[in-house]
Amino acid sequence: MLMNHRALLAAALVSTAGLASAAQAQLRLTSWNVTNFRTSDTTRDDDFKTSIYGVIPASLPLAGRSMAPDVFVGQEFISTGAVVQFLNVLNTAPGSPGDWAAGGFIDGADTDSAFFYRTSKITFLRTATIAIGSSSTSNQPRNTYRYDFRPIGYASPAASIGVYSVHLKAQGGTNSAGRRLIEAQRIRTNAEGTDTNGAGTRLPAGYQFMVAGDLNITTSSAPEYQEFVASQSNDMGRVFDPIKTPGNWNNNGTFRVVHTQEQTGNMDDRFDQILVSAGLIDGGALEYLGNANAAYQTASVPPFGTAPLDNTRWNDPNHSYRSWGNDGSTFQGALSTSQTSSNGVTVSRQNNMVGTAIGQALITSAEGNGHLPVLMDLRVPPKVQTVASIDFGSVTQGSLAQQTLTISNGADVAKWTTQGISVLGYTLALPSGFTTASPGTPPSPPSGGLYWPPTLAGSFYHYAGSPALTHVVTLDTSTLGTRSGTITISAPGATESPTVQVSVTGTVVSAANNPPIARAGVDQALSDNDGNGSEPVTLDGSASTDSDGSITNYRWSQGPTTLAQGASATAAVVLPTGLHTITLTVTDNAAATATDSVVIDINARPIANAGPDQVIIDADNSGAEPVTLTAASSTDLDGSIVSYAWSENAIQIASGLTPTVDLSVGVHTVVLTVTDNRGATASDGVQITINPAPPACAADFNADGVINPDDLADFIGCYFGQPTCPQADFNADGEVNPDDLADFIGAYFAGCP
């Protein structure tokens, strides 16, 4: 089952007892096979606390320090409860910062791996099961998990790490080497970017990676080890031994300083290792703190009785990698705690790496054949910190014009310390018209004795926490004009922003030059005459002058948008309705500039609405009828309507918002013209139809008092002569159609009362 890391944190997080003395601040990763760690046995908890956060005695080379990792990858956890218990160990150990959490734990068929991390230093991304183990002799015995994480403050793939936690098949039994090879092949394939256990299980593109854990391999020539480290046709999944110490490790005293098993009685094997991808040892970004090109310093075993075993060579200045607690003073015996004899020679000394108490805790923390933890430190990537722009302003021709460009390594020193951040290496590319020189003597690495990779010729370097590098940028002032461009800072190791650009500009002017005077013309108030939402405008800067030269360019702009520019003082543009502030920038022949502005106010036309068409009856048969006209629906979006004029056949017949006029029988087209407060006009028409009142007897169409064929003939003539004969709408329904003809004929034959 998968247990959420937040749930684990909530289950076991308790208050801390203080910070570890002189704890390393660079990113430290520890891998440890904790030998069958389970909830039913708490007797080893204190030994783990001492092993991890115990403080090394003052008389030793690492005085005051602790293992104090930031990431802990463990093997042989029995259950979810065991992970919760170990998380509690990490958070309650004296000296622990108390900020530990656990990554997602998956309880497989055998013992399993677990991942723990400090929440103040690490962002945990996910647990991926990349291979499934089983008891079959043709398969790996346990699941393989990859834990993806990155240091806090970073988000790029190049600053992310996938750790493959391994516990390969033990030596002995059916096909043990073959089963180890199967797991190694699956890990390498997964690291090459192939899904090995369903969609989405591959190592994400661009990630760094490690193989950490109990390899159970006795020699670097073993096929399963070569599967990890040897070059193949595809080397994307290849890993390297960061301490470059190949050989036959088993039962070989020369390698005693890197042996990790078995600390309770027979130190003679290098089973536990951390192998790293090429990107962690190329000297650039997220990096192993050590020289991966240098072999770990080892020493052969002198003839018995001639000299004690050397207990100082573990402290290799080229490497941060350690077999924690192994000072090299033991071979084929228990881990040294305090010694009275070594290699047949009388001595009186304690464990020279961790002291007696931590050495003893490392022994008693094991169950059965135990393992020592292995650890290594990493430096986090650098970050480019600089200015956004450099502006020389206007400088005199022939003068020395210089500005400073400061660049520094802006990674978080408070979190990672100066020793825990990789050096910022970068190059500069300047645009035409600008040059720079070397900032002087390259800075030295921070003191402290830790390994720093060599710098390369042709690049600049900056170590976090040291004074910023100052580059003097010089503007070429030999010719007049404006120069601008981008300074490109290329820093491949700065994973978050490997390319940073700084804008740079400057204008070279004549020594005696007077700047021009810009005149953008008088403000303009215009109207959108055709109602299309915009209006052509002529901008006129012809009143601009230059007392000692000539104006070579007129640029008209509104905000950041250039509307027009060129050698002409005038420009024709089209502007939408509304208020516009237009800036004129003039440039003279010596590249000096001046600005002025003009306001262009374009009035939107009003909207005329003469109301709906009307059909009215001449009720009194007087030949005319009063009609109320209405312009109430007319509007002006950017002002007010000040005039309403009503006309027929171009002759004004009324004014006002709702006038009443007398109209004769017939069809009238009345036009409304509205005028707004800025003088803009708009028109709309309305049709008014005045129909005569029907006769007292409808069948007496000609109203001569007699119903006879003349009435029928007159109506038919009217019907076919409409629309000039409005009486054709006999039924007064607003339409002339066959219904009117049928209705009249019916009335004709019905007669009058």
In angstroms, the CA 558 to CA 159 distance is: 44
Query: What pLDDT is recorded for position 584?
Result: 96
Beta strands in 380-458 (DSSP E): 384-386, 389-396, 401-409, 424-429, 434-436
Query: What pLDDT is recorded for position 718?
Result: 85
Query: What pLDDT is recorded for position 19?
Result: 27
- What total number of domains does the chain contain? 5
Retrieve residue 174's tokens: 């059916």
User: Same structural domain for residues 662 and 546?
Assistant: no
User: Same structural domain for residues 551 and 619?
Assistant: no
Q: Is residue 120 part of a domain?
A: yes
Query: What pLDDT is recorded for position 454?
Result: 82
Burial 377-413 (b: 16+ CB within 10 A, else e): bbbbbbbbbbeeebebebbebeeebebebebbbbbbb
User: Same structural domain for residues 388 and 366?
Assistant: no
In angstroms, the CA 324 to CA 260 distance is: 8
Q: Is residue 408 part of a domain?
A: yes
Q: Is residue 516 part of a domain?
A: no
Are the beta carbons of 33 and 167 closer than 8 angstroms? yes
Q: Is residue 268 part of a domain?
A: yes
Q: Is residue 395 part of a domain?
A: yes
User: Same structural domain for residues 595 and 618?
Assistant: no
User: Same structural domain for residues 642 and 584?
Assistant: no
pLDDT digits (tens, 9 = 90+) for 578-587: 899 999 999 9
Q: Which of 155-159, 275-279, 371-375, 624-628 has the lowest mean pLDDT?
A: 624-628
User: Same structural domain for residues 374 and 432?
Assistant: no
Residue of 557, 517, 516, 515 lying closest to 539 (CA atoms): 557
Share of the chain above pLDDT 70, in %: 96
pLDDT digits (tens, 9 = 90+) for 406-460: 999 999 999 999 999 999 999 999 999 999 987 777 788 888 778 888 877 678 9
User: Same structural domain for residues 397 and 451?
Assistant: yes
In angstroms, the CA 375 to CA 455 distance is: 26
Query: What pLDDT is recorded for position 281?
Result: 95
Query: What pLDDT is recorded for position 457?
Result: 66
Query: What pLDDT is recorded for position 16?
Result: 29
What burial class does residue 628 get, using C-beta atoms within 10 Å of its C-beta: 0-12 exposed, 13-18 middle, 19+ buried?
Answer: exposed
Residue 622's CATH number: 2.60.40.10
User: Same structural domain for residues 221 and 337?
Assistant: yes
Q: In terms of pLDDT, which residue wins out, 679 or 147?
A: 147
Residue 338's CATH number: 3.60.10.10
pLDDT digits (tens, 9 = 90+) for 490-522: 999 999 999 999 999 999 988 777 899 999 999
Retrieve residue 228's tokens: 């990890």
User: Same structural domain for residues 483 and 573?
Assistant: no
User: Same structural domain for residues 33 and 117?
Assistant: yes
User: Same structural domain for residues 100 and 160?
Assistant: yes
Residue 301 has pLDDT above 80, yes or no: yes
pLDDT classification of 13: cutoffs 50, 70, 90: very low
Query: What pLDDT is recorded for position 538?
Result: 96
Query: What pLDDT is recorded for position 26?
Result: 85
Domain end (from 662, 692, 722) = 692
Domain end (from 552, 568, 603) = 603
Domain end (from 476, 509, 542) = 509
Q: What is the mean pLDDT of the chain?
A: 90
Mean pLDDT of 42-64: 96
pLDDT digits (tens, 9 = 90+) for 662-698: 999 999 999 999 998 988 898 999 999 998 876 667 7
Query: What pLDDT is recorded for position 25?
Result: 63
Q: Where are the alpha helices (DSSP H) in 159-217?
A: 176-191
Q: Is residue 597 part of a domain?
A: yes
User: Same structural domain for residues 443 and 555?
Assistant: no
Q: The tokens 């650009």 sit on which residue?
A: 501
Q: Is residue 515 part of a domain?
A: no
pLDDT classification of 734: cutoffs 50, 70, 90: confident
Mean pLDDT of 692-710: 76
Q: Residues with Cβ < 8 Å from 645, sequence gap 6 or more? A: 652, 654, 655, 672, 673, 674, 675
Q: In terms of pLDDT, which residue wins out, 731 or 48?
A: 48
In angstroms, the CA 437 to CA 474 distance is: 9
Q: Is residue 51 part of a domain?
A: yes
Q: Domain range spanning residue 672?
A: 614-692
Are the beta carbons of 144 and 109 closer than 8 angstroms? no
